[in-house]
Structure formats: structure tokens, C-alpha cells
Copies of this chain bind each other. A is one copy, B any other.
């Protein structure tokens, strides 16, 4: 099973990386950008078959290691055995 975890900064937390991207885009002539925020994307391949168990394990991973709960939010998406995602 494949899990996609999105980790984003909470609202109100300063995001210098996002600001840097915003400035760089504006300098390259991209207009109409109101805000840019940068987060992390973590893809985990698990061999757990049970969806509920996998979800519980992932929540545990996020809260204990992957996300800093003081300043970050996390979101978990489960994709069943679909190996290919994220191709542009």
C-alpha cells in the first residue's frame, strides 16, 4: 500500500522558503501570485494490507517523527497498491 503524507506549516507560521519562491517567481515575470507556502511530501510504501491499521500506523509516524506538531499540520492519503502516481 502506498501512502502520501503532506506536511504543511500551520497558518501564521513564517515560511521563508515559500517567500523566497514567491519573490523568485515574481522576478521571473509571473504575476498574480498572492502567496506561496512550501511543505513536504513523503511517500511511504507499506506492506500492511489492512487500511485501518495502516492509517493508525501512519498517524503514529506523523506525530512521533515526521511532523513537528507545534508548527506543522499533516494529511494522510492512502492509495491502494497503485504504484504509479506523480508522473508529469
Contacts A32-B46, A42-B38, A44-B36; A61 near B25 (Cβ below 8 A): yes
- Among the listed B28, B34, B36, B42, which residue makes an inter-chain contact with A21, where contact means beta carbons less than 8 Å apart? B42
Interface residues of A in 23-70 (CB under 8 A from B): 24-25, 28, 30, 32-48, 57, 60-62, 64-67
Q: Tell me which residues across on chain B come within 8 A of A36, comparing CB atoms.
A: 42-45
Chain A: interface residue total (CB-CB under 8 A): 42
Interface residues of A in 1-32 (CB under 8 A from B): 6-8, 18, 21, 24-25, 28, 30, 32
Contact B48 A32 (CB under 8 A): yes
Most B C-beta atoms less than 10 A away, residue of A7, A39, A64, A75: A39
- Among the listed B24, B46, B64, which residue makes an inter-chain contact with A33, where contact means beta carbons less than 8 Å apart? B46
Q: Tell me which residues across on chain B come within 8 A of A88, comparing CB atoms.
A: 62, 67, 73-76
